[in-house]
Amino acid sequence: MGAVRMLLPVLRPVAGRDGNGPGGRLLVSALLRCSSPHWVFVRPQPLERRIAWGAEAVALCRATMRRERPGAPDVLARSLVLQSQLLLHAGRYEEACAAAQESLNVPDARPSPSRTAYCHLVRALALAGLDRADEALVTARLSVAVYGSVLPGQADRCLGSAAAALRAHAWVLDRAGRTAESVDVYLQCAELLRELPWRQQFRLAVLHTRVLGELAHGLRALGRFTEAVEAGDDARELVGDLVPRLYPETQVMRAQLLIDLAWCLGATEDLSRARATAEEAVTRCRDLPAGTEVPDQTLLAVALDCLAHHLELLDAHTDERVVREELVTLAERLADAEPETHGPRLAVALDALARCHTRDGEGSGAVTVTRRSVELYRRAVGRDPGSYEPELARTLANLSVRLRLTGEFEGAVAAGGRGPGDHPAPRGGRGAGRAVTGRGPPADSRPGPVPRRGRRRGRGLLRRGRDPAAAAHGGG
C-alpha cells in the first residue's frame, strides 16, 4: 500500500480537479485501496487520514456520475459502503448509516450481494451504536441472510463475510440484553470459522479471536463457566504470540479474554490457575502499546481487581494488599480525570483496602480509608441516588464496625452500624462490567454499580476494545 500511497500526488494532477482526466478512475482505485487496505501484513494509516481519502474518492465518483460515465454508479456504490465502514469505526454512526443507505440506493448501480450484505452489516452496527436496538436486530438478521446467498466465487474480501455478519448479529443481541440468544449465535459463528480452510482462517484470525473471546464472556454471564473456560482456552491457543504481532488490536482482546478466563476459573474453584491467569492479564495490560484504544488504564484496573480477589480467596494476604494498594493508586488517577465514572470505583477499591488494614490489625488506617470511601459514595448518591444509596449504606455499616474495633463507640453509633462483621462489597452486576469493558459480567465480577454516563462510556470502550466496526471489517 505504501507504493500506492506515494502515487497519489502524481495521480491527482493527471486526473484533474474533478477526476475528468485520463487518470480519474486510477486515482479513485488508489484512494480506495489506501483507505481500506485488506492485506494481512499492511499496517493501516491513521483513521482520520483514511476517512479523508475515502471522502475524496466519493467526491470524485459523484463528479463522474454527473458525467454519466459507464460503470460510475457501481464505483460510487462501492466507495460509499467502504466509507461507511470507516465512519462506523470512528463512531460517526449517523453518517455511517446515511452512507450505507445511499450505497444501497445509488441509481443504475448493479446489485451486488456482497455489497448489499455489507451495507446491512454496517447499518446494523451503526444503529446499535445509536441505541436503536430493534432496528439493529432486524438489519443484522437481514445481513446474515444476504451473506448466506453469496456464492463463494462472488465473495469480496473487502466487503465482510458471513462470519462477520454472524458475529455482528450476536453482538447486537448481547447489547440488547438477550445474552442466551447471543451465545447461540456466537457458537454458530465459531463453528463456521473452524470449518474454513486454513488460509481463510489466517486472514480472519482477528475476527476468530474476537468471536471466541466474546463467546467466553457470554457463557460467563450465563454462569456456564466450564464452557467459558473451554472457549477461552481455544482463544488463547489461537492467539498465541504471532497474531498480536501481526494485529496489534488483538492485544486488548487478549487482555480482556484473560480477565474473563480468570473469573471463570475461579468460579470452577481452580484457584491456582485463576491466579496465574489473572497475573498474566495484569502483565498483558501493562504491556499494551502506547496509543491503545482502551482509554487510560481502565482495563489494568479491572485486571488488578480480578487478581486481588483471587489472592484473597487463596489467603495470600500480603500479595493481595500490595495489589489493592496499587489498584487504589491507579483508581485515584482515573478518578481525578473522570470523577463521575471512576469515583465510585475508587470507593470500592478503598473499602477493599480497608479490609486489608483491619485484617492486619491497623484499625485507625482502616477507618481513615473507609471515611474516604464513604465520602466518595456520598458524592455519587448526589448524582444517582438509586444506584448508590445501597452501597453508601453498606460502607457506612463497615465504617461503624471499624470504628467500634478502634474503641470509637460514639462514632460507630453515628455511622449506623448494623452488625458485628465486615461487609465486603458485592461483586457488581452486569452494568458494572459494561462500564469498563463494554460487556456485561456475571454477578461476581466487579464491585459496585456505575453511573449511567459510565455505561455510555463503556459502550464507547466496546466499540474500540470490542468494537462493532471490527465486525464490519471482514478481517475482524
At 96 the pLDDT is 94
At 225 the pLDDT is 96
Report helix, strand or coil for 41. coil
At 21 the pLDDT is 58
Cα 332 from chain centre = 23
The C-alpha torsion from 352 through 355 and 357 to 363, rounded to 10°, is: 130
For 13, the grid coordinates are 494532477
Rg (CA), the chain: 25
Report residue 258: phi and psi, to 5°. -65, -35
User: What is the C-alpha to C-alpha distance for residues 470 and 42, in angstroms, rounded to an integer?
Assistant: 16
Are the beta carbons of 370 and 403 closer than 8 angstroms?
no
pLDDT tens digit sequence for 333-366: 999 988 998 999 999 999 999 999 999 999 899 9
User: What is the C-alpha to C-alpha distance for residues 351 and 335, in angstroms, rounded to an integer?
Assistant: 15
At 333 the pLDDT is 92
Contacts of 285 (CB under 8 A, 6+ apart): 255, 297, 299, 300, 303
User: What is the C-alpha to C-alpha distance for residues 248 and 219, in angstroms, rounded to an integer?
Assistant: 26
For 176, the grid coordinates are 440488547
Q: Are strands 427-428 and 446-447 parallel, antiparallel or unpaired?
A: antiparallel
pLDDT tens digit sequence for 226-265: 999 999 999 988 888 788 887 877 888 999 999 999 999 9
The predicted model scores a pTM of: 0.78
Are the beta carbons of 164 and 473 closer than 8 angstroms?
yes
Are the beta carbons of 84 and 99 closer than 8 angstroms?
yes
At 446 the pLDDT is 33
pLDDT tens digit sequence for 121-140: 999 999 999 999 999 999 99
Are the beta carbons of 92 and 110 closer than 8 angstroms?
no
CA end-to-end span of the chain? 19
Are the beta carbons of 281 and 299 closer than 8 angstroms?
no
For 471, the grid coordinates are 465486525
Contacts of 179 (CB under 8 A, 6+ apart): 173, 218, 221, 222, 440
Are the beta carbons of 79 and 118 closer than 8 angstroms?
no
Contacts of 132 (CB under 8 A, 6+ apart): none
The C-alpha torsion from 144 through 149 and 152 to 158, rounded to 10°, is: -50
* Residue-level pLDDT, tens digit, the chain, 476 residues: 556 666 666 556 666 566 565 666 777 777 877 777 655 555 667 888 889 988 888 888 887 776 666 678 888 898 999 999 999 999 999 999 999 999 999 888 887 888 899 999 999 999 999 999 999 999 999 999 998 887 555 556 667 788 999 999 999 999 999 999 999 999 999 999 999 888 888 888 889 999 999 999 999 999 999 999 999 999 988 888 788 887 877 888 999 999 999 999 999 999 999 999 999 999 999 988 765 555 558 899 999 999 999 999 999 999 999 999 999 999 999 999 889 989 999 999 999 999 999 999 998 999 999 999 999 999 999 998 888 999 999 999 988 888 888 877 665 556 554 433 455 555 443 333 333 333 333 322 333 434 444 434 443 443 334 555 555 554 44
Cα 264 from chain centre = 19
Long-range contacts of 371-378 (CB under 8 A, 24+ apart): 371/399, 372/347, 373/346, 373/347, 373/348, 374/347, 374/399, 376/335, 376/343, 376/344, 376/346, 376/347, 376/350, 377/344, 377/347
Instruction: Report H helices in 131-249.
Output: 133-148, 162-175, 179-194, 198-203, 205-221, 225-239, 242-246
For 26, the grid coordinates are 486510477
